Chains A and B, each alone.
Chain A
Amino acid sequence: MRRWVIATLMLAALVGAGCGSPGGDADENAKKQDEKASSTVEKPDVAAAGDVTLTVWDQEVRGGQAAQIKQLNEQFQQKYPNVTIKRVARSFEDLNKTLKLAVSGPKAPDVVEANQGRPIMGTLVKGGLLEPLDPYAEAYGWADRWSPLLLDLNKFSSDGSEFGSGNLYGVSQMGEIVGVFYNKKKVPEPPKTLDEFEQSLKDAKADGDIPIQFGNLDAWPGIHEYETVLAQTADKQAVRDFVFAREGASFDTPEFQAAAEKLQQWVDAGYFTPDFSGTGYDPAWQRFAKGKGRYLIAGTWLTADLADQMGDNVGFMLMPGTDEGADPVALGGESLPWAITSQSKNKDVAAAYIDFLTDANAATVLAETNNLPAMPVDEGSIAEGLPREVYAEWKRLNDADGIIPYLDYTTPTFYDDISAAIQELMGGKSDPAQFTAGVEEAFRKFADAR
């Protein structure tokens, strides 16, 4: 018996040692951030800053992304020999998993790529761990580099409760759109309206081809298919309001339901890869690249791979709307925003670094390394063929301010909620009404608790 008493006492002591509730003071954080956001700064003079080491955490590890950051880091250090960039590169998933711990720890990095949305950026802002960039945006004139939505996506109110408005906490280098890749051999003349697109799907099916290559085993690709249709059935503002969880926003509307209906009709008509729910994302697009299938609804991150494998046989377009020539609306976004941590001791140099990563020179470097710059760039610096087609569509979309953001930004658990719900919808486990009602319920849990 005595042993148990000792063990219990030991446990109690251990628990006691860890006491005091985890985290910090929220109100204090928010106030400080708002003060900072409304202050003004001069353009920092990096050369006069003395010897500075900037620790940077990024996820620019693949292909063209790795090439651009390497090149820009070198250029920056050449321009300012007093600055040393200590780069910590991680994969996207690793970065997202470790960032919260790193930024809240005692040796926080200076500059980090903090993913958009409530789960990461929202939480960090709430914890007072990111620096509002508004004064720097003013000093450097960042407002001219991005279309309004691209800036909104990196904004939060200082207490982290409002997404899509408030202070600016980061800026992004690259754009991305989820659009329609098509096999030019099979689709010589791309459809101009949604009806024409559906007719083309029907024809492909009649030919015995796969109309849309699709694999949803990984759960997230379904979000892209749904939102690509949603962009045509719902008003873009309604989708934005929902993602930003603004007053009165709802998922359970006829427009959101119409997209679900259309998607289920396409499944029933056999317009997607047979057994798509058991097929991985990679096998699906690789089959499209090998010439199987007419269309692929996917993100522009596949541009380089598809251009490599298909050469001139692949084209890219935004999903056509119901009316020919209407302003385009499509699912899209931007790469992870570069942000400054509030613990950084070199905020001015960090801001200059971020400015350097997103200025006109950077845009050209991005284009030359086969990335899609989010900032305006001379079309001539972009490789001919598919990349240039993609850039043209990106520009057309941004000129019309037509981007709708990813639904999984909506709440911290929304990725799980929406991806599972779409799997159930497309697997015939739920009907469109149940789908929108179920997703709305998951959203309400979050919205009502705020």
Chain B
Amino acid sequence: MIAETPGGARPPGEPRHVGYLYLLPALVVFTAFVLVPIARAGYYSLYEWDGVTPATWVGLDNYAEVVSDEDLRRAFLHALVMLFFYAALPVAIGLLLAGLIARARVRGLALFRTVLFLPYVIAMVVVAVMWRMIYDPESGALNELLRAVGLGSLAQSWLGDFNLALPAVGFVGTWVWFGLAMVLLTAGVQKIPQSLFDAARVDGAGMVREFLAVTLPALRGEIAVALTLTTIAALRNFDLIYITTKGGPGKATSVPAFQVYDRAFQTGQVGSAAAVGLTLTAIIFVISLGINRFSETAGAR
């Protein structure tokens, strides 16, 4: 069909200006619920404000505090550790499983996939309450299990130990997110043409070689999606911390999102909370952008 140009003023294919009008309803909603709150937060972040009494203008001090305040610095550091447990580890496990599945036909694959995916389906609050019970030093499932198999000496106060608490909480993240990574990646594997694997095998590639040469490059898009989702989850992690440790013991598991809540609703530091929240948003934005850029440029090659 040949495009008609009524009036003939526009070249064919040029969108009509009335098209912008169709964006308006979505733009109004987006403005009301995303842009305005962000702008508001930006405005609050320039004040020292307890939420009720008159605020004091402090300029960018709240942002400077994100870097200079030891508690906040540690919280952001903990967020990096969370990135490892929430993003790196689940994607690595997912890749491993995807590689295995690419190699061999597994009976009852759908069943395994469903079971391994289950943790992701459960609400985070439920997961957190459950793991708090599992980690209980005296009657928790983990220590009971260790004692039952004669490894009682390894039984720990998982959430109460200053060094173990952060990895223990992080591991819950791994448990929740590896299922999603696996489903995404195995689905990606199944879309790789069988001929590629056959060709690699004819060329005498072993399991590792085949994984590196065929599976991994073909999964770039899926890896980017999995990393983006898990990274966002890692950095905005709040519910898990709130329910399991409340940032303790001491401040060993405090993370930025928890600090935002604590400052805004508990300690009356609304300005600082807004600054931390916006900083966190910016970091998430930059990291996701980086991941997507990386997967696109690498894919173009």
Mark A residues whose CB is within 8 Å of B: 10-11, 14-15, 18-19, 21-26, 96-97, 100-101, 104, 119, 123-124, 126-127, 129, 160, 216-219, 273-280, 283, 287, 412-413, 415-416, 419-421, 423-424, 427, 429
Contact = CB atoms under 8 A, between A and B. Distances in A.
Contact of B248 (A15, A25, A96, A420): A420
B157 interface: yes
A429 B54 contact: no
Interface string B40-51: 101110010111
B54 A100 contact: no
B245 interface: yes
B285 interface: no
B160 A427 contact: yes
Contacts of B35: 10-11, 14
A413 B54 contact: no
Contacts of A274: 137-138
Given A15-B42, A427-B250, A100 B266 contact: no
B237 interface: no
Interface residues of B, number: 44
Given A11-B35, A416-B262, A100 B52 contact: yes
B135 interface: yes
Given A21-B54, A423-B248, A412 B137 contact: no
B53 A123 contact: yes
B29 to A, nearest CB: 15
B240 to A, nearest CB: 14
Instruction: Specify which of A97, A100, A279 lies most central, judged by the most chain B CB atoms within 10 Å of its CB.
Output: A279
Contacts of A419: 248
A279 B52 contact: no
B57 interface: yes
A3 to B, nearest CB: 12
Nearest to A118: B268
Contact of A279 (B39, B42, B137, B267): B137
B137 A129 contact: no
Contact of A278 (B39, B135, B246, B247): B135
Nearest to A18: B43
Instruction: Specify which of B57, B157, B251, B262 lies most central, judged by the most chain A CB atoms within 10 Å of its CB.
Output: B157
B274 to A, nearest CB: 11
Given A123-B50, A424-B249, A413 B267 contact: yes
Contacts of B43: 15, 18-19
Contacts of A104: 52
B226 to A, nearest CB: 30
B265 interface: yes
A127 B267 contact: no
A68 B28 CA distance: 48
22 contacts: A11-B35, A14-B31, A14-B39, A15-B43, A18-B40, A21-B47, A23-B52, A119-B266, A123-B52, A127-B52, A127-B53, A217-B159, A219-B249, A274-B137, A279-B160, A283-B139, A287-B138, A412-B267, A412-B268, A416-B266, A423-B250, A429-B162
Instruction: Specify which of B47, B248, B251 lies most central, judged by the most chain A CB atoms within 10 Å of its CB.
Output: B248
B250 A424 contact: yes
Contact of B160 (A15, A126, A217): A217
A189 B156 CA distance: 36
B268 to A, nearest CB: 5
B161 interface: yes
Interface string B161-186: 11000000000000000000000000
Interface in B248-275: 248-251, 262, 265-269
A279 B54 contact: no
Given A22-B47, A123-B51, A126-B53, 10 more contacts: A11-B35, A14-B36, A15-B39, A21-B57, A23-B54, A275-B137, A276-B160, A278-B161, A283-B138, A415-B266
Contacts of A423: 248-250
A102 to B, nearest CB: 11
B54 A11 contact: no
A280 B132 contact: yes
B158 interface: yes
B49 A427 contact: no
B265 A97 contact: yes
A113 to B, nearest CB: 17
Contacts of B132: 217, 280
Nearest to B52: A127
Given A278-B160, A283-B139, A23 B53 contact: yes
A24 to B, nearest CB: 6
Instruction: Specify which of B49, B138, B161 lies most central, judged by the most chain A CB atoms within 10 Å of its CB.
Output: B138
A24 B157 CA distance: 48
B136 A22 contact: no
B196 interface: no
Contacts of A219: 246-249
A255 B217 CA distance: 66
Given A15-B39, A217-B248, A416-B266, A427 B162 contact: yes
B121 interface: no
B248 A126 contact: no
A119 B247 CA distance: 20
Contacts of A415: 266-267
B265 to A, nearest CB: 5
B114 to A, nearest CB: 32
Smallest CB-CB A-B distances: 4 pairs: A278-B160, A277-B160, A278-B157, A275-B137
B20 to A, nearest CB: 12
B241 to A, nearest CB: 12
Contact of A18 (B39, B247, B250): B39
B47 A277 contact: no
A412 B270 CA distance: 12
A24 B54 contact: yes
A421 B249 CA distance: 9
B55 interface: yes
Instruction: Specify which of A126, A275, A421 lies most central, judged by the most chain B CB atoms within 10 Å of its CB.
Output: A275
A431 B35 CA distance: 48
B159 A22 contact: no
B160 A216 contact: yes
Nearest to B50: A123
B50 A412 contact: yes
B248 A278 contact: no
Contact of B52 (A96, A126, A218): A126
Nearest to A413: B267
Interface in B124-162: 132, 135-139, 156-162
B52 A275 contact: no
Contacts of A279: 136-138, 157, 160
Contacts of B36: 14
Contact of B55 (A22, A97, A124, A129): A22
